[in-house]
Structure 1
Amino acid sequence: MTSPNPPKLLSGGNPQIPKGDGDGPVQAYIAAMPGWKRDLGRRLDDLVMRSVPTARKGVRWNSPFYGSQTGGWFVSFHVLTKYVKVTFFDGLSLTPIPPGGTAKSGQARWIDIYEGDELGEVQMSDWIRQAAALPGWTP
């Protein structure tokens, strides 16, 4: 069933979803992801929840966030024009360190996933479990 007022897509096709906690806002975001990115969003959500079944979910800044029950957020993803960026907020503490990052990134590191890329579920799941064991980011 489609919503009578589907979410607006922001720059790069990122769905505009109101801030909210729980699975509902995250699923609304994923459902609004354009094209091939929607399937990737479903796979990422499933992978996070299989890797950390107790993870809490929410939408912040028009992106799904995943956090521990007692700590901060450990991973998020965001739609951009040609890829989906998966950000680990304490990525410098992960082994191996995810490839994305700059001198201005602080502790955050990420991986960009383009159409046709392998998700690399074994490595991604390992990073997710490592990140969930850290204190996490609290805005």
Structure 2
Amino acid sequence: MNYILCIFIPLILFGCNQQNRELNTKIINDSLCIFTNEAKNYGNDSFLVEAVKANHSKEYQDEYNKSYKNFKFPIDEKSCIAIPLDKIEKNAVNIIVLSTINKTFRSRICVLEDDSSISIKQVEAGKFTCD
């Protein structure tokens, strides 16, 4: 019996562990538009959106944090959640997270701004510069 439990419990824990999923980002009308691009329509859900400047040498401090309760889950560009660009640090690595009680979507991006345009660059995990 103990042998069966030793095998069964790790399988349950491994099966319940959800990996982070990719969060899609796009700039629309002076906002960072985020959406999951999931095929499944979750309908209304409660979730948290956070934007954090990636900095390995300082404490965690979010630049933007907003809770949504019973809100249409952003599965596509039409239903995206807009984060004002002034809440995102430009030319720095930002981690954008959308999380529910059982799903987490994450994106590491740089919002690059120069004199004439604004663009988004995806950043590899572990990198802290936009180069």
TM-score category (smaller protein): under 0.3
Q: Quick check: which has more Rg, 1 or 2? A: 2
Greater RCO, 1 or 2 (C-alpha within 8 Å, sep 6+) = 2
Taking structure 2 as the reference length, the TM-score comes to: 0.26
Taking structure 1 as the reference length, the TM-score comes to: 0.25
